[in-house]
Amino acid sequence: MSDSLGQIGIIGNGSWGTALAKILTDNGHKIHWWVRNTQAIDYLKARHHNPNYLTSVTFTPDTIMPTNDLAAMVALCGTIIVAVPSAYTQEVISKIPETVWRQKNIVSALKGVLPDCNLLLNDFLNATLNFPTNQYVSITGPCHAEEVADERLSYLTFSGLNDELTKKVAAAFDNSYLNTTCNHDIWGAQFAAVLKNIYAIGAGIARSLDYGDNFLSVYITNCYREMYHFLQLHFEKVHPSDEQPDFHTSAYLGDLLVTCYSLHSRNRTFGAMIGKGYSVTAATLEMNMVAEGYYAARGMQSVSGNFDIKIPLATIIYNILWTDLTPAEGFLQIEKMMI
């Protein structure tokens, strides 16, 4: 397939999808935008902003083409940005014939593994649709949608094996408030984005359990140590190459820091509610958003087992969320692990 981006489509109109739509339209791109909810489509067409997420962002009417016809949108576009929560991605992908997907560039804005198979999106596409990995680019942070809405300087990393395509995708997003960088580390950058959401839930739990900044700084340091260990072993065992990724950059350490510390972090907020005694269901309803780290905590147990790479801190967060381990008991265990 040509490396030309063609027309651009976005799947998903949550906070992150809306932020990506803002960046692209600010840069002069017209976007086709798949939105599940008909009322939200009508609102976007009439009022020119998302009624539910980042409501301060206003779109010029001729730059967005919202639709609930997924098949028609995918058929029109050469580049598809997937920005729905990972829990729903397989359902969306399955609605379009696999031969159609193989003709597209796919840009993943996911921050989780697909829960039914515990695979990153590129590995799922390759395994089930024989999708060429050189037509795939992933987007990672550190970048909160709310700060994009305010046009506060943010950073995105674009990871892909095809340099020309990766640079073209990055260039489509680069502007005065959004700096972009590129690398080849598809797997590491995405796994870092998955892990940091799990650790951020732990940071939120710690806050609600009245741990202070001193403990939190030690906790995040140990989380990064665990993340680095996982990424390094995964690189060596599963996807070795002559190019060693630099894990000490913003896509890895920076994204972990902002997700653990920022009040914009939905995973941190979700963890804070769990630490206060909310059930998972109650916390999700209260937030009206999906905390990717909740599903990631379960998925990464399977991933780490398959690769035989231990992630003990993430495992304790998993046990708090998915078994009967209480937050207080879990963090007593974490206390003893800190170095």
Planar angle of CA 116, 117, 121, nearest 5 degrees: 105
SS3 81: strand
pLDDT digits (tens, 9 = 90+) for 246-259: 999 999 999 999 99
Written as six digits, the tokens of 271 are 């963890």
10 within 8 A of 73, measured Cβ to Cβ? no
Domain 8-184, CATH class in plain words = alpha beta
Rounded to an integer, what distance in angstroms lies between the CA atom of residue 286 and that of residue 303? 30
The predicted model gives 82-106 an average pLDDT of 93
Q: Residue 96 contacts by C-beta under 8 Å, 6 or more apart in sequence?
A: 70, 71, 74
Q: What share of the chain is helix, strand, coil (3-state, %, to 5)?
A: 55, 10, 30
**What CA–CA distance (Å, rounded) separates 31 from 176?**
20
pLDDT at position 289: 75
DSSP codes, 45-95: HHHSS-SSS-TT----GGGEEEES-HHHHHHH-SEEEE-S-HHHHHHHHTT
pTM: 0.95
Residue 266, class by beta-carbon neighbours within 10 Å (0-12 exposed, 13-18 middle, 19+ buried)?
A: buried
Domain residue ranges of the chain, discontinuous segments joined by +: 8-184, 187-337
Which tens digits make up the pLDDT trace of 46-58? 999 999 899 999 9
pLDDT above 90 as % of the chain: 91
Strand partners, 9: 32, 80
What rounded mean pLDDT belongs to the chain? 94
User: What are the tens digits of pLDDT across the range 276-296?
Assistant: 999 999 998 888 777 899 999
H helix count then E strand count, the chain: 16, 8
User: How many Cβ atoms are within 10 Å of 128's Cβ, its own excluded?
Assistant: 15
Tokens 């839930």 map to which residue?
A: 201
pLDDT digits (tens, 9 = 90+) for 125-150: 999 999 999 999 999 999 999 999 99
> Token digits for 273?
């509610």
CATH of 187-337, one of 3.30.365.10, 3.40.50.300, 3.40.1190.10, 1.10.1040.10: 1.10.1040.10
